[in-house]
Amino acid sequence: MANEKYPVLYGYSGNRCIELRGVNEVAKFICTEGLENDLTITTPLDTPLLNTFGTFINQITDMEYRKELMEVLVPMQMNMESELFGDDSDDSQTGKKEFEIGDGRKIFAEDTEIDVSDLNFFDELEYDSWDLFLKYCDAMGIEVSDRDEPDWYTAKTIQDKVLDVIMESGIKLNFDRDLEESESPSLG
Per-residue pLDDT tens digits for 150-165: 999 999 999 899 988 8
pLDDT of residue 181: 41
Calpha distance 48→179 (Å, rounded): 50
Is 180 among the domain residues? no
- Across the range 133-162, mean pLDDT stands at 91
pLDDT band at residue 119 using 50, 70 and 90 as cut-offs: low
Pair 78, 98 in one domain: no
Mean pLDDT of the chain, nearest integer = 84
Number of domains forming the structure of the chain: 2
Phi (first) and psi of residue 142, to 5 degrees:
-90, 125
Pair 63, 19 in one domain: yes
Does 21 have pLDDT greater than 80? yes
pLDDT band at residue 179 using 50, 70 and 90 as cut-offs: very low
Is 188 among the domain residues? no
Pair 98, 80 in one domain: no
- Segments forming the whole domain that contains residue 80: 2-85
21-30, 38-47, 157-166: segment of lowest average pLDDT = 157-166
Does 80 have pLDDT greater than 50? yes
Pair 21, 71 in one domain: yes
Does 187 have pLDDT greater than 50? no
Is 44 among the domain residues? yes
Give 41: exposed, middle or buried? Use CB within 10 Å, 0-12, 13-18, 19+: buried
| Domain end among 65, 85, 105 | 85
| Letter string b/e over residues 9-30, b meaning 16 or more CB atoms within 10 A of that residue's CB | bbbbbeeeeeebeebebbbbbb
Pair 9, 66 in one domain: yes
Is 30 among the domain residues? yes
